[in-house]
Amino acid sequence: MGILNLTNDSFFDGGKYINNVEKAVNHAKEMINDGADIIDIGACSTRPGANLVSKDEELEQLIPIIKQIRKQFPDTIISIDTVWAEVAKETLKEGANIINDISAGQFDDELFKVIGQTKAPYILTHTPSTPDNMQEKTNYNNIFLDISKYFADKIEILRNMGVVDIILDLGFGFGKTIDQNYFLLNHIDDFKTFGLPILTGISRKTMIHKPLEITPQQALNGTTFLHAFALMNSSNILRVHDVKEAKQCVQLFKLIENNK
């Protein structure tokens, strides 16, 4: 899953593709050529500390890009990174395939209904709070059990609303300390008890560049190492900034798996 950020303040590539349809579509094309199966488009930064933008602002950025990617790359899977029901509904109408919601329906009561009605695949993320204060919510009784209960409760609600395809995202960096992130990375496989695919989004995040005392721009090597580790622990989808390097990581991992 290649990341296409249409925001001003994303921690790695904020501002590069906002208000520029041609540049954004060219980046999507580059990622597709490098091997991306899914393009995840977001027009609202959800990094810790960020403030959510309005639905209208999101749609203004998203719709032209979706139309162009769908026109030029009809077979590419398009995922929309949003927390709003209206944005999900309108982007699915324009040809998006998946809704990637970091809020697990916490910010918009109508979102689960839209997913149930449209039968769109849905990425369910563990997030304890809104981005502006999520890093103040890092106290867990038992992080594995607490997140497992969170997923179980949300999955039950989604199933009752008719949602068929659910992908789990442990929410690395969302209301977790660095140590908690690494604990979860070690236990991805344990969340397979839900019988659902697991997406891992760790590309160039704080959990990589802060311990190494480098910048996000310098964190590709660490990202690739952790991608390999996530694959070894049964992650099914990698959400990445650097598609070519991630694809190479996947190819080599498959060689290891096929030659045991």
Q: Which amino acid is at 39?
A: I
Q: Over its length of 260 residues, how does the chain's per-residue pLDDT go in tens digits? A: 999 998 765 544 545 656 678 889 999 999 999 999 999 999 876 666 666 778 888 999 999 999 999 999 999 999 999 999 999 999 999 999 999 999 999 999 999 999 999 999 999 999 987 766 777 778 999 999 999 999 999 999 999 999 999 999 999 999 999 999 999 999 999 999 999 999 999 999 999 999 999 999 999 999 999 999 999 999 999 999 999 999 999 999 999 999 98
Three-state DSSP class for residue 213 = coil
Identify whether 205 is a catalytic site residue.
yes
Backbone angles phi, psi at 42, to 5 degrees: -130, 135
Cα torsion at 209, 78, 247, 123 (round to 10°)? 60
Which is catalytic among the residues 55, 204, 239, 247?
Answer: 239
Q: Give me the CATH number covering residue 100.
A: 3.20.20.20
Which is catalytic among the residues 47, 89, 204, 205?
Answer: 205
Identify whether 47 is a catalytic site residue.
no
Strand pairing report for 98-101 and 198-200: unpaired
Q: Domain tally for the chain?
A: 1
Structural domain span for residue 23:
2-258
Strand pairing report for 237-238 and 198-200: parallel
Report pTM: 0.92
* DSSP characters over 191-205: GGGG---EEE--TT-
Task: Burial-class residue 192 by CB neighbours within 10 Å (0-12, 13-18, 19+).
Answer: middle
